[in-house]
Amino acid sequence: MRRLILALTAGLVFGFGLTVSSMISPAKVLAFLDVAGGWDPSLALVMAAAVPVAWAGFFLGRCRSAPLAAPAFQPPAARAIDRRLVVGAALFGVGWGLVGYCPGPALAALGVTVADPRGTDLAGAPLFVLAMLAGMAIVAVIDRRIHK
């Protein structure tokens, strides 16, 4: 139960941060990615603020023998940069650049859309989340067929 409460709390804090920083706004994200046009550098400040916070988390993690809600740390097993990673990263980047959403901000925007359906440029969040879930299901089916 403690693990679920910590996960929920972390997710709520992350979603709140995305919302406050406007990272859930596709227009804001697309303006940040448009370096050749009307570039909006404000999201760079969000990333610049996130780096020291992440550094502190990793530093504190190295000082502990185990995480707060697990018996041991579980680093990723895969270390290689393979075709699957490169294709996934490319699809992620292309999708983010085309619509201004990636999974975390899309879920936070979905929450805001449900809470206030009049959300200005967040109306596409439900469709994006449905498309994301469909894509995840398709990849799971393909993965099972390839790795039988």
Mean pLDDT across the chain, nearest whole number?
87
pLDDT score of 52: 95
What is the C-alpha separation between 144 and 32, in angstroms, rounded? Answer: 37
* Residue 118 lies in domain: 2-146
pTM of the model: 0.76
- Structure tokens that stand for 14 in this block: 């992350």
- Classify the phi-psi angles of 100: left when phi > 0, otherwise alpha if psi is within -120 to 50, otherwise beta: left
Which amino acid, 112?
Answer: V
pLDDT score of 115: 62
- CA triplet 89, 58, 86: central angle to 5 degrees? 10
pLDDT score of 146: 86
Express each pLDDT in 89-141 by its tens digit: 998 999 888 988 989 899 888 888 766 666 567 778 888 999 999 999 998 99
Please count the structural domains in the chain: 1
